[in-house]
């Protein structure tokens, strides 16, 4: 997902607001340094996810049969390959994805 730098900065400010409001957080670094680190982490994570998405699309289009984007089969493969890419990169799946992966039908 493409997010503008301005939105990432806005998210970092909101994250800092939450941390500042928490009685359980003690700052040992300058708050702006921490906020800048949040921006860096978000930016790097989004870049990694974009790489994962590109790899997933490449894998789907390399299938022997043509799979139409938006079809149920395409969606299933996309979710499967995307989860595999995130795991390969060391990015954990979202909690709702983990819940569905462990569910038996």
Q: b or e along 70-91 (b: 16 or more beta carbons within 10 Å of the residue's beta carbon)?
A: eeeebeebbeebbbebbeeeee
Between 57 and 89, residue with greater pLDDT: 57
Sign of the alpha-carbon torsion through 49, 51, 92, 21: negative
Between 47 and 105, residue with greater pLDDT: 47
Residue 30 structure tokens: 């300058």
* 3-state secondary structure (DSSP) of residue 25: coil
Query: Would you give the distance in Å from CA 57 to the centre of its chain?
Result: 16
Q: What is the pLDDT of residue 2?
A: 77
**Against a cut of 0.75, is the pTM above it?**
no
Q: What is the pLDDT of residue 1?
A: 59
Q: What is the pLDDT of residues 2-31, one digit of tens each?
A: 789 999 999 999 999 999 999 999 999 999
Q: What is the pLDDT of residues 69-101, one digit of tens each?
A: 999 999 999 999 999 988 888 876 555 444 444
CA distances from 48 to 26, 43, 54 (A): 30, 9, 10
Cα gap 84→55, rounded to integer Å: 11
């Amino acid at each position: 997902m493409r997010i503008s730098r301005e939105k990432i900065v806005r998210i970092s400010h909101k994250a800092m607001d939450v941390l500042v409001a928490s009685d359980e957080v003690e700052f040992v670094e300058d708050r702006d340094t921490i906020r800048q680190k949040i921006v860096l982490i978000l930016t790097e994570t989004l870049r990694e996810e974009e790489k994962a998405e590109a790899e997933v699309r490449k894998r789907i289009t390399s299938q022997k049969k043509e799979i139409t984007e938006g079809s149920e089969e395409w969606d299933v493969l996309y979710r499967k390959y995307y989860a595999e890419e995130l795991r390969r990169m060391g990015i954990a799946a979202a909690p709702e994805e983990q819940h569905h992966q462990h569910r038996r039908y």
